Amino acid sequence: MEGLKKKKSKIVAFFSGRKGKQRIFISGMLAWPIIHFLVFWLYVNIDAIFLAFRNEARGEWTLSNFKWLIKMFVEPAVILDMNMAVRNTLILFFWNMVVELPIAVVLAYVFFKKLPGNKFFTICLYLPSIISTAVMVAVYKSFLGSEGPFAQIFGQSWVYPITNPETSMLSMLAYNLWTGYGLNIILFRSAMGRIPPEIFESAAIDGITMFEELTKIILPLIWPTLSTMMLISISGVFGASGPVLLFVGEWDAHDAGLMTVGHAMFLQYKVSGMVERAAAMGLFFTAISMPLVFLSRWLLTKVEGEYEY
């Protein structure tokens, strides 16, 4: 009894007084993120790993989910073509890395130079990032639809490009180009704004051109921000799906040629109710992407220079 009373008194003393109130406040602030991490990340991911090796209908451990996934690569189903899904996902990923990210850097540099109208164009490019995706897709589809300007110009020869397998992916890439780099411009512009102006003044005295300023000063000094954005993109390489559901719905992605890995997982989980197959797909592509992330991190660290300013 005496030992129990001593423990209680120590606990009361630990949370009493000014420092005790600080401890209570800090504990309260940390409690929610810790609970959120344990429930919505740790538990969910561990449960998904177990689900990938389960057959709930038979109540047994099995590798049948992975066998089914391999079969979808070798013998694609009518509405589920994993080869198309991987191809489209990689196209969207490389489009972001090779096209959208460099454009965001160049535009951020143009706005950083404070050319006439830079604030207006910054707002115009950032607006698609804050407006609902459903609204932006609706506007985009209306623009390309039968009442849009292209249909009025070309008349009956105009074919709706979003559901046409030959042009659907190009339409998706154009949409991503329209809406995909507003936030990146803000981040890169902020990174450029932290560079001391003395560096640019010294370079201007030496007669540096704008291209040299961008490539030899700006890019090395904002490389930590740029490499972080690249690493985030690489870590979600198989999650690069785009708003496929809003474009063509649940079942039409295959016919429109817009099937992606994320959409294929959605079909298995939400539509077909095959949670175990969706979990197996997630675990399969996670096993592929993890080495890519570590390799990319190592390569980006090698490229990154150490600059202090």
Decide if pLDDT at 237 tops 80.
Answer: yes
Nearest to 96 by CA among 251, 254, 230: 230
Nearest to 185 by CA among 77, 238, 255, 106: 106
DSSP collapsed to 3 states, 142-175: HHHCCCCHHHHHHHHHCCCCCCCCCCHHHHHHHH
Nearest to 169 by CA among 250, 89, 265: 89
Tokens 């993109």 sit at which residue? Answer: 233
**In this predicted structure, what is the pLDDT of residue 151?**
85
Mean pLDDT of 210-227: 89
Q: Which range has the top average pLDDT, 123-127, 140-144, 181-185, 241-245?
A: 140-144
Decide if pLDDT at 303 tops 60.
Answer: yes
**In this predicted structure, what is the pLDDT of residue 247?**
86
Determine contact, residues 231/208, Cβ cutoff 8 Å: no
Higher pLDDT, 142 or 118: 142
pLDDT in tens, 38-83: 998 889 889 888 988 988 666 688 888 999 999 988 888 777 888 9
Cα distance between residue 261 and residue 130, in whole Å: 25
**In this predicted structure, what is the pLDDT of residue 248?**
85
Decide if pLDDT at 16 tops 70.
Answer: no
CA 233 to chain centre: 6
Distance in Å from the first CA to the final CA of the chain: 61
Determine contact, residues 278/262, Cβ cutoff 8 Å: no
For residue 75, the 8-state DSSP code is: S
pLDDT in tens, 147-157: 888 888 888 77
What is the pLDDT of the chain when averaged over all its residues? 84
Cα distance between residue 227 and residue 234, in whole Å: 10
Decide if pLDDT at 135 tops 60.
Answer: yes
> Is the Cα dihedral 261, 266, 271, 276 positive or negative?
positive
Q: Which two tokens stand for residue 191?
A: 């990174």
Cα distance between residue 230 and residue 235, in whole Å: 9
pLDDT in tens, 194-216: 888 898 888 888 888 888 999 88
- Within 13 A of 70's CA, how many CA atoms are on the CB side? 5
**In this predicted structure, what is the pLDDT of residue 131?**
80
